[in-house]
């Protein structure tokens, strides 16, 4: 009850910020003119606001997008507000392993540095669908595509950090809904990656968001072991009615949002935690953590499980190399 009251009032935590803080506020003293950032899902919602604020602070931005036209429009909106903003639009379908590899090859050909990677894009599927690689679509888009994207960009991020002395940062945008998932991750993914299955869209989304949390934990451990000057953290932006939830509009959804309206954040507030974790100097060397309302907190029990994180990593490495629609069996 006390925590709910603090949230509604917007009481600042140890960071000096809270649930009512905005992305503009948390980056007020940031100079990002030497920073190059890739932001997935930057065409609308939280991603668009994150991009706007980072551009405002001087960062060079790369927008990977499935809908290139929407990305160009998002770029135009930012440039109209900040004429000196430098933004590169590139095609990327996160649900496609081949598209991720093509994007990374294209990005590397630009010979740009990479200081910051924000894995923000997400989807909450209406209906059951399978990706071209044989993986349930929500998981493929929200987690597996980002897993591969991050792995393929790590060499560039490590190199940039070594050459500039500026610590690289990876931010995975997850959700508090990750705590709704229980059970065997791999077995459930196996089930929903079949053409015919009992599909629960909310549980599938929770699985993908739990995977984001576990990815953060395992990647942080691996980066520390090799001495890379790159950190990775994950964030829960809070509840906000963005395109992700509008895609599931209906009487029940609208009723839920009406009843919980006092808990909803504006997009400006929802982007604050991402921007804080991506830019705040207090977070140098902070890695493998979970943030809500611009403050470190604790993920679910399953999200804190190191053995589950290691198990998911091993399965993910197999999934991004198998390229097969014939059957889902990451542990074969």
On the 0-12 / 13-18 / 19+ scale of CB atoms within 10 A, 273 is buried
Q: 295-297 and 290-292: which strand pairing?
A: antiparallel
Q: Is the dihedral of CA 32, 36, 38, 44 positive or negative?
A: positive
Closest CA to 270 of 232, 299, 239, 234: 239
Asked if 105 and 64 count as a contact pair (C-beta separation under 8 A), the reply is no
On the 0-12 / 13-18 / 19+ scale of CB atoms within 10 A, 285 is exposed
- Tokens coding 34: 């030497």
Report how far residue 332's alpha carbon sits from residue 329's, in angstroms, rounded to the nearest whole number. Answer: 6
Closest CA to 156 of 119, 117, 114, 118: 114
Which one of 7, 143, 188, 205 is the catalytic residue? 205
Report how far residue 29's alpha carbon sits from residue 84's, in angstroms, rounded to the nearest whole number. Answer: 19
- Tokens coding 143: 């987690």
Q: Is the dihedral of CA 135, 149, 210, 52 positive or negative?
A: negative
Q: Is 143 a catalytic residue?
A: no
- Tokens coding 16: 């000096």
Residues involved in catalysis: 205
């Amino acid at each position: 009850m006390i925590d709910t009251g603090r949230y509604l009032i917007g009481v600042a935590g140890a960071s000096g910020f809270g649930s009512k803080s905005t992305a503009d506020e948390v980056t007020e003293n940031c100079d990002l003119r030497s920073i190059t950032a890739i932001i997935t899902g930057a065409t609308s919602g939280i991603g668009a606001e994150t991009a706007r604020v980072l551009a405002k602070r001087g960062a060079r931005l790369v927008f990977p997008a499935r809908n290139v036209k929407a990305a160009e429009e998002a770029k135009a909106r930012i440039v109209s507000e900040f004429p000196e903003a430098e933004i590169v639009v590139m095609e990327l379908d996160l649900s496609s392993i081949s598209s991720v590899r093509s994007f990374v090859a294209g990005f590397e050909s630009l010979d740009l540095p990479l200081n910051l990677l924000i894995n923000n894009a997400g989807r909450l599927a209406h209906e059951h669908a399978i990706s071209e690689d044989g993986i349930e679509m929500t998981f493929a888009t929200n987690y597996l595509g980002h897993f591969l994207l991050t792995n393929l960009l790590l060499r560039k991020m490590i190199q940039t950090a070594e050459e500039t002395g500026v610590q690289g940062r990876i931010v995975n945008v997850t959700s508090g809904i990750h705590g709704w998932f229980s059970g065997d991750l791999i077995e459930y993914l196996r089930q929903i990656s079949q053409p015919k299955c009992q599909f629960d869209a909310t549980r599938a989304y929770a699985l993908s968001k739990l995977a984001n949390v576990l990815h953060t934990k395992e990647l942080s451990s691996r980066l520390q072991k090799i001495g890379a000057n790159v950190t990775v953290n994950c964030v829960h932006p809070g509840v906000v009615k963005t395109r992700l939830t509008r895609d599931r509009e209906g009487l029940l959804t609208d009723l839920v949002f009406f009843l919980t309206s006092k808990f909803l954040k504006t997009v400006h507030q929802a982007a604050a935690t991402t921007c804080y974790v991506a830019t705040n100097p207090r977070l140098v060397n902070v890695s493998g953590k979970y943030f809500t309302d611009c403050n470190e907190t604790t993920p679910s029990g399953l999200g804190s499980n190191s053995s589950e994180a290691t198990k998911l990593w091993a399965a993910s490495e197999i999934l991004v190399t198998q390229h097969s629609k014939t059957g889902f069996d990451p542990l074969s």
